[in-house]
């Protein structure tokens, strides 16, 4: 059996516009208040608070930068990594069915719990691999290559 591999990341331009725009205020605040000594507003945040705010927004930017959804399907089973949060290895013997589906919009991207398909791991779009395990538990792994994934699964 060949291998199907897909790696997705948050590369939507509008997400980065929002994230970078939200980081601009803390950077401006750091420059004005901490470096130049010009307090921001009538009741300025403390310098420590400004530094912590900048560290938080920087950490958020880095988190979205490193966040990746990796799928690998081979003769052993299906491996999904939502780096750095989730790591699942499912053997074929644990799986009842797999099906590429249009799961629609499930309230956002990332990890979505309590959907009608169980947990959904996605980065963008609305297509994914629905996996049903023995015992009935289900979850979905988002894909940007649904036709290629369907073709791959038919060969299995």
Q: What is the pTM of this model?
A: 0.79
All structural domains of the chain with their residue ranges: 9-66, 75-155
Is the pLDDT at 77 greater than 80? The verdict is yes
Enter the DSSP assignment of 55.
H
Burial class (CB in 10 A: 0-12, 13-18, 19+), 62: exposed
pLDDT at 107: 65
pLDDT at 141: 96
Query: How far, CA to CA in Å, does 97 sit from each of 48, 70, 100, 133, 153?
Result: 53, 20, 10, 7, 11
What's the pLDDT band for 1 if we cut at 50, 70, 90? low
Convert the pLDDT of each residue in 80-108 to its tens digit: 999 999 999 999 999 999 999 999 876 67
């Amino acid at each position: 059996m060949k291998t199907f591999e897909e790696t997705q990341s948050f590369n939507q331009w509008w997400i980065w516009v929002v994230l970078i725009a939200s980081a601009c205020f803390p950077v401006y605040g750091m420059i004005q208040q901490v470096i130049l000594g010009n307090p921001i507003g009538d009741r300025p945040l403390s310098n420590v608070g400004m530094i912590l705010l900048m560290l938080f927004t920087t950490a958020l930017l880095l988190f979205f930068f490193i966040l990746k959804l990796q799928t690998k399907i081979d003769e052993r089973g299906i491996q999904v990594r939502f780096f750095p949060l989730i790591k699942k290895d499912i053997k074929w013997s644990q799986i009842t069915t797999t099906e590429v589906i249009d799961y629609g919009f499930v309230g956002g991207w990332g990890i979505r719990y309590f959907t009608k398909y169980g947990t959904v791991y996605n980065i963008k779009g609305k297509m994914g691999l629905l996996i049903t395990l023995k015992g009935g538990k289900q979850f979905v792994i988002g894909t940007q290559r649904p036709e290629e994934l369907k073709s791959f699964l038919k060969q299995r």
